[in-house]
Structure 1
Amino acid sequence: MPPLQVVWFKRDLRAYDHAPLYQASQRGWVLPLYIFEPDLWRQPDASNRQWRFVRECLVELDRTLGRLAGKTHGLIVRTGEAVEVLEAIHQAHGIDALWAHMEIGNNWTFQRDKAVRRWAKARGIPFHELPQDGVIRGLQSREGWRDHWEAEMSQPLTPAPQRLQIPPLRSDTLPVSVGDDDCPHAQLGGRSRGLALLRSFLSHRVRNYARGLSSPLTAPSACSRLSPYLAYGALSLREVVQATRRRIQQVQADPNAAGLLRSLQAFESRLGWRSHFMQR
């Protein structure tokens, strides 16, 4: 087995519109890696309800990657600190390149990513960090940023790889729980659930969006409910933006759809706000 193209999944838990995965798949054997980092889930902004959502996304991603490789499972899970996990894989199998999306998280993930970049540089391993959500990490000036965001959102969606070569390596078991906070009505994770919510929202639920999004009484039904799927990358922002714009085009010619059009445009605007405030 030749050295591996490691694709490190973080907040991009999908196989579709995933440029790092697609690029890696064109170069040989791919190790789709999720690192369960206990210290990350001990951070004050982490919770068990978030982990349950992520775990459900990972279970579906595992099946999707497996299908692309002609297997039952495709995701390789390792537990530990990121640099130590990557070093162990490199020593055992060799890493030809490391691929990931730039993560816009908290200071803990920012420092972890800096440590991984230092490790990769010291080992002579190319670390390809590709942007997503139209956000540029380390940007000094936002002059021209909106044009950049628009260009990113207008790019064609990256297809899922037609075929993956995944090595038969061991995979750790995902923890069932990382805490004891009880949230029985929390949203369920997984790309298929996110796609179903996107379809139902754009087809009919969006009608009440513009007038219902600001009230705690109406927001649970009027809003898209897509936030966690975007936050953890089960859906890409670009695919949601493009689906919204296709729906806007469908209703623009209907003189009786002024309210629906207004809600769709309000939603499209807030998708841009999301990236804008992340960029700040």
Structure 2
Amino acid sequence: MTTPTRRLGIAQLSLVGTAPPDLVTIAAEAGFDFIGARVRPVTTSERPYDLQPGAPMLKETLRRMADTGITVEDIEFLLLDGTGLQNGQDQREAWLQMMEAGHALGASSLTVACADPDLDRFEDHLAQMTQDGKAYGIMPTLEPIAYQTVRSVPEAVKLAQRAGCRIVVDALHVNRFGGTAAELETAADLVPLIQLCDGPATPPSSREALILESRSERGVPGEGEFDLRDILKALPAGTPVSIETPSDSKVAEIGELAWAKHLKAAADSVLNTPAFNTAPLNTPALTGSSK
């Protein structure tokens, strides 16, 4: 039987300071197939990228996509906290604008996470988002995050099934909240995308340090102690992989393109080596900030 071809992309977080048109160009030069795009800043310190219909940056991004063949797989990132607001904007208005941008880019999913202590309320919001997404061809994907309210694969699966959406698997958080291969196998039909990185087996000692690791200093796939093999084996062989490996220090040292090329070579090595790591999935860490 022929093994399905696995598409490989680079997540915006790997080069969060790189505008989407430039990320498209870098992705193409590094040999990736797609990118993830931040159509809305996650924190107030992030550079905003206007990718709404009619925006010059959207037009330039689409032009470079057409020239290179690079596509946009996913857009991100919305943290639902139950307040109804996101950076002062109504959250439903926020996700509808994100979906407009995602539709224009040809994306198929929008990543969302839960910081709402009221899971019934969160489930209602997730279901509304799923319903709204049908008009744009955008499926919400719930990401369980080690320092947020929803921080396990089974909990994410339960909420996604009730809301009618899917989940995204991030290797960092799977390791940090102690996910298992068996949990991933059970969730396999709900996972349209795997986010890949690496890191030390021992988690950071505080919530603040977990956030810093997640946003700014992850390990290169294959160069750490995560059992990426078990994560990849637990999910269908053709599931697209997005390399989500930010390192502020390395990007400052070697530059954006060199970092992207290094990540591509490392990912190829991981994906093309049947058994490169035998470490177990790691133990849970600690649980408000966004990704």
TM-score between the two structures when normalised by the length of structure 2:
0.31
TM-score (norm 1): 0.32
Structure number with greater Rg is: 1
The structure with more helix, counted as a fraction of residues: 1
Higher relative contact order (CA 8 A, sep 6+): 1
Greater strand proportion: 2
